[in-house]
Amino acid sequence: MLDKATLEPGDTVLDVGTGDGLIAFGALERLGPSGHVVFSDISKDLLDHCRAAAAAEGLLDRCRFVLASADSLADIADASVDVVTTRSVLIYVKEKAAALRAFCRVLRPGGRISLFEPVSVLMRDPDRLLGYDITPVKPLTAKLREFFHSVQPPGANPMTDFDERELIRHAERAGFTDIHLELRVTVKNGKRPVPWNHALRMSANPLVPPLGEVLDRVLSPQEIAEFTAHLKPLVESGAGRDRQAHAYLVAAKD
């Protein structure tokens, strides 16, 4: 992402949805002593964490921390940054078109965005759950899916309501010119083996409960035993299919 952003010494980079600063600190390192980074997130805790980390590294004079949602970037002035980066953030944002407009607004003419988003909508497979073959336990899996859909209704779920074409459309409508998108898709046999008790504590995304909790809520003890007997050996041996799709979007503002 940072390679694609083609940073220039002295640039100001705004990292939207900075989290614990993976991209923002990477940008600081690449920009050199005259470059600045604006860390932005909707989580005050994460911004405080980044501020403490920047202070520990003696980097505070090159950093700003702004609590703002990606779809407005309130408190970030028009035409005030050279580059906007954002990684795995738009999947949480319902108003993606507004976010792209906000990115365009805060960029100086000649500025650019470099985005990276998982495009999970491309990875749907009705015969698999998290990449594991569930055909022998399809009726039980249907109950789990019904629960997941009640928590994240398909049409209203920002994680799955877009694909790479939508990102291009939003970027173009927001006023970006010179738009490039790279889609990387991997489908391969074999997943990392995971102990079953770990798998029960994991969730598909931060907005849904962990698998163990979902099983307890949705299935009877007998159904849980049947589901576990099928899935546990697959999960523990890594006998699933790894499926990933990621979009890299780079665009410039005239």
Ligand X SMILES: C[S@@+](CC[C@H](N)C(=O)[O-])C[C@H]1O[C@@H](n2cnc3c(N)ncnc32)[C@H](O)[C@@H]1O
Q: How far apart are the first and last CA of the chain?
A: 21
In the region spanning residues 131 to 190, those forming contacts with ligand X, defined by CB under 6 A, are: none
By the rule CB under 6 A, 35 interacts with ligand X: no
Q: Are strands 12-16 and 107-118 parallel, antiparallel or unpaired?
A: unpaired
Among 27, 31, 70, 199, contact with ligand X (rule: CB under 6 A): 70
Q: Give the whole-angstrom CA distance, residue 20 versus residue 34.
A: 22
Task: Give the sign of the dihedral formed by CA 23, CA 26, CA 30, CA 32.
Answer: positive
Q: Which is nearer to ligand X, 42 or 179 (CB)?
A: 42
What residues between 193 and 232 interact with ligand X by CB under 6 A? none
CB of 120 to ligand X, least distance (A): 13
19 binds ligand X (CB under 6 A): yes
| Stretch binding ligand X (CB under 6 A), from 14-22, 131-139, 211-219, 228-236 | 14-22
CB atoms within 10 A of CB 46: 18
Instruction: Collapse the DSSP code of 222 into the 3-class scheme (helix H, G, I; strand E, B; otherwise coil) and give the result.
Output: helix
> CB of 73: closest distance to ligand X in angstroms?
9
- Interface residue with ligand X, options 43, 80, 203, 228 (CB under 6 A): 43
Residue 94 or residue 188: which is nearer to ligand X going by CB?
94
Per the CB < 8 A criterion, the answer to whether 51 and 61 are in contact is no
Whether residue 111 contacts residue 82, with contact meaning beta carbons closer than 8 Å, is answered with yes
| Of 23 and 249, CB closest to ligand X | 23
Query: What residue ranges in the chain does DSSP mark as E strands?
Result: 12-16, 36-41, 63-67, 81-87, 107-118, 128-129, 132-133, 177-189, 241-252
Which CB, 1 or 234, lies closer to ligand X?
A: 1
CA dihedral for 157, 66, 53, 44, sign (positive or negative): negative
The nearer residue to ligand X, 68 or 231, going by C-beta atoms, is 68
Minimum distance, C-beta of residue 46 to ligand X, in the bound complex (Å): 5
**Using CB under 6 A, which residues numbered 79 to 118 contact ligand X?**
87-89, 92-93
What residues make contact with ligand X under the rule CB under 6 A?
16-19, 22-23, 41-43, 46, 69-70, 87-89, 92-93
